[in-house]
Structure 1
Amino acid sequence: MSRRAVIPLALLAVVIVAIAVFASQRGLFSAKPSAAIGGAFQLVDQSGRKVDQGLLKGKWSAVFFGFTYCPDVCPTTLFALGEAERRLGDQARDVQTVFVSVDPERDTPKALGEYLANDAFPKQALGLTGTPEQIAAAAKAYKVYYAKRPLEGGGYTMDHTAITYLMNPSGGFVCPIAHAATPDEIAGKIKAAMAKGRRADSC
């Protein structure tokens, strides 16, 4: 290869490296899961008020998908979130739990209100429901799996993702909270995220 051919190739390599460094510094090659969790939704809360993703703005939100007939995962998760809320003390005023139903057939706004009135559950809890299509859109935005499963004795239950998603006051995804997390662990994650600021993307 001639010297004339080598010089342009060397310059091209330098340009490619420079572009790669620039893109990396700007996060253009990042595959952060925060870009994939959360999004637009149109639902109604337990008072019958129409709401959208804007209700996440201004507070740290623990978003959990479940249903009021849930025998174990949902009540234990809400109990843990309620205990975590109490452990946060004054910081709890900046935190809300958002319980999204995956069973719109049975979970009316009234049913959600009665369910979330349990003293063991978070005081600042919002229950959301909607049409099957609206629920499907919200679940898709949060990458949540759910499915109706018939019971042997009649009726049905719902299989669903058991992860709680912590969202920051800007509506962005922060981190997942496992179903097995203790109240202390949940409170610790929320405090760690708060310490990083209102646009935290990890905890």
Structure 2
Amino acid sequence: MFNRTFGYILVAALAAGLGLVAAHHFLGRDGAPAATALRTATLLPQPRELPAFNLRQSDGTPLVPGELAGHWTLAFLGFTFCPDVCPTTLAQLSQAQKQWEALPEATRPRVLFVSVDPERDTPAKAGEYAHAFHPDTLAATADVPALEKFATSLGFVFMKVPGKNIEQNPNDYSVDHSANIALLDPQGRLAGLIRPPFQPQAIADDLARLSGADHAP
């Protein structure tokens, strides 16, 4: 079962304060963008370490913080039954990924799709869904407590929303979730955010620039 109390609290907090939180964390002290050279990604003044997490990748192997080291990674929450936001976002990210294919594998940016619907999405199903957009996309999921912990560390939220026929059909529900993309640096730290509407060319340019110019701890 999804923790509804958790969801309600976080969604309320998101609605009330996200703008102020984003302004505090993603703008410099003088209110200017932290990285004016980037086209669409907004960087934190200082990258933030993520607490320990343990997700399950589509191939059955664990996804832990060390697995994300060495590459810039774009992390996105979603679910395979998502009617619009998820497929649109993954399609846009795949356009950026195609432009990174010429980059060396050792520095090539990565995309991570995390399903927040473990009742219907096994790791394998999440992987099949994500790979249909681009074969290099990483996919993972976990039980709800682990997903809540991971989402919160990124400043994201999600919540199960029952449909009208949930009592007759247990699968009659959707999942509301944050639509932003988290930017993780090569040390696996939260480094920034990309907000919709997404611009594939701008995302491709920003990540190519970061991947070629910044690997320092």
TM-score, normalised via structure 2 length: 0.70
Listed one character per residue, the Cα deviations across residues 86-113 of structure 1 (whole Å, up to 9, x for unaligned) are: 1224227322111111111111012112
Whether the 8 Å contact between 1:150 and 1:157 is mirrored in structure 2 is: yes
Q: Give 1:175's match in structure 2, choosing from 179, 192, 203.
A: 192
Which AA in structure 1 matches 2:196?
A: H
Which of 64, 70, 77 matches 2:89? 77
Shift of residue 35, structure 1, vs aligned partner: 2.3
Query: Residue 208 of structure 2 aligns with which residue?
Result: 191
CA drift of 1:62 comes to: 0.8
Instruction: Please give the alpha-carbon distance, in whole angstroms, between the structure 1 residues aligned to 2:59 and 2:72.
Output: 21
Q: Tell me how far 1:195 sits from its aligned partner.
A: 4.1
- Report what 2:45 is aligned to: 32
**Alpha-carbon distance between aligned partners in 1 of 2:201 and 2:68, rounded to the nearest angstrom:** 23
User: Does the aligned pair in 1 maintain the 2:113–2:140 contact within 8 Å?
Assistant: yes
SS of match in other structure, 1:34: strand
Cα gap change, 1:55 to 1:137, in 2 (>3 Å) = same
1:89–1:109 distance in 2 versus 1, CA, 3 Å:
closer
| CA RMSD in angstroms, aligned pairs only | 2.0
Q: Is the 8 A contact 1:166 1:177 kept in 2?
A: yes
How is 1:28-177 mapped onto 2 (pairs within 5 angstroms)? 32=45, 34-35=47-48, 38-91=50-103, 93=105, 94-118=108-132, 121-154=133-166, 155-177=172-194
- Of stretches 191-200 and 93-102 in structure 1, the one that deviates more from structure 2 is 191-200
Q: 1:34 to 1:150 in 2, by over 3 A?
A: same
Q: Deviations over 1:7-60 (max 9, x none)?
A: xxxxxxxxxxxxxxxxxxxxxxxx836327x43211110112122111110112
Cα pair 1:63 1:99 within 8 Å, conserved: yes
Sequence identity, in percent? 32
Higher relative contact order (CA 8 A, sep 6+): 2
- Give yes or no for contact 2:109–2:208 (8 Å, CA) kept in 1: no
User: What code does the residue aligned with 1:60 have?
Assistant: W
Distance 2:210 2:103 in 1: 12
Q: Secondary structure at the match of 2:103?
A: helix
**Would you say how many aligned residue pairs link Structure 1 and Structure 2?**
167
Structure 2 CA distance for aligned equivalents of residues 105 and 164 of structure 1:
23
Q: TM-score, normalised by structure 1?
A: 0.75
1:67 Cα deviation from its structure 2 partner: 0.8
Matched to 2:143, the amino acid is T
